[in-house]
Structure 1
């Protein structure tokens, strides 16, 4: 297996700093965050989802985008993905991401799928997603870039099973699944090996992070609630040694991509800790 980093997790580093730190840590691949930084947050400190300094601006030119290809190659790293925050049905935006990914020599992007908040039925949202992915599959075939559905809480694909239900309509050469066990702590837990066996050829990439639960009182103060929160890799609900063993059992030999939101370590130290931990667990 190989190691990668999704730059959402390194918001304080610019692309050049990230590439240098990744190379030093032993990371081999980069998943570039594809999201503009709003003008009104530029004076804020770095943050994962707002002022993230390691992001490709979708509004940029090809010359702007090639900066990221250049810094990756300078440190002998591979740009494996361009990762946007697409809305289901946004074909124009999806094609723009495909163009950026092809320019950088990346292998995949993340597709947009509907969120689930009880305002629309799962069945209606599922139909919307299938229609969108039909168009995405055609784009993926044209550009030679695979589109991935991520297992993610608060969407219609929180588990391997529900992600598989979506992607099983499509050719696994063009549409696949980004498997994220950390997200599945919040919602969507299934036995890891069973889910991986189900995904089969659709398993395309894996994100590495962990989460746990914290007990709190409800708003009325009379009931107990459990809130999911991000924690260090070795301290959460996900048993990463077990996940790695299950990945090996299905023959997965791709990238494991760090996406640690726990804030336990500064970015550079986090990358080093990630590689050291993965090397220990994959022996």
Structure 2
């Protein structure tokens, strides 16, 4: 298994700074965030989803893309992925991302997935999702870049089994799943190995982060106790990464694991080094 970084987690670094820090940490690939910086955030402090300085703009041109490609290549890194925030059914947007990925030599992109917020029935959403994925599959084949859906809370693919139901029947050469145990702390937890075995050839990439449940309301009187998830350090939360790595080994997974740490417990360069050191320790266990 190889290690990568998703640049949503490195908002204070430019592409060149990020690639150099990733090389120094011993990582192998970069997953470039693909999203515009909001106009009101351009001069703000760096932040994950605001002024993220390591993001490909959606209205990119070839010169802008070359900046990202040069940053990776000059540091011996691969541009592993282009990771947008697509909506389910947005084929024009999907093709635009695939074009960027092909120019960067990336292996995959992230595809759009329907949110689930109780406003529409799940069967209707699933039908639309499957139709979109079949159309995206054809585009992915055309551009030679794989499309992944992510196990993500507040979507119809929060778990491995829900993701499998969405992609079942597609070609695993061109459609796969980005497996994210940290997101499954919020919603979608299943036994890790069982989920990996279910996904089989669709298991295409893994993201590494962690979260912990915290009480937000004590339930005074007859009121309910309420909980929410906050992000925490890689080995301080509910996800047992030693178990996840052991299960990945057991199912023969040979892809990459990408850091996506939102805990802010370490600066960017230290976070990358800590991730590489701790994951390599687990990967090198017998």
TM-score interval, smaller chain? over 0.9
2:63: which partner in 1? Answer: 63
Partner secondary structure for residue 234 of structure 1:
coil
Quick check: 1:279 aligned with 2:280?
yes
**Which residues of 2 match residues 117-266 of structure 1 at below 5 A?**
117-217=117-217, 222-266=223-267
The count of corresponding residues between Structure 1 and Structure 2 is: 283
**Considering only aligned residues, what root-mean-square deviation do their CA atoms show, in Å?**
1.1
2:268 aligned with 1:267, yes or no?
yes
Task: Compute the displacement of 1:219 (Å).
Answer: 9.2
User: Residues 164-194 of structure 1, C-alpha deviation per residue, up to 9 Å, x if partnerless?
Assistant: 1111120000100000000001000000000
SS at match of 1:53: coil
Q: Distance in 1 between the 2:233 and 2:34 partners?
A: 25
- Structure 1 equivalent of residue 83 of structure 2: 83
Deviates further, 126-135 or 219-228: 219-228
Unmatched 5+ stretches in structure 2: none
**Helix, strand or coil at the partner of 1:155:** coil
TM superposition score normalised by structure 1: 0.98
Gaps of 5+ in 1: none
Residue in structure 1 matched with residue 50 of structure 2 by the alignment? 50
TM-score after normalising by structure 2: 0.97
Deviations 1:224-245 (A, max 9, x none): 1111111101111000000000
Contact 2:86 2:94 in 1 (8 A): yes
Deviation at 1:206, TM superposition (A): 0.3
TM-aligned CA deviation for residue 50 of structure 1: 1.0
> How far did residue 147 of structure 1 move?
0.4
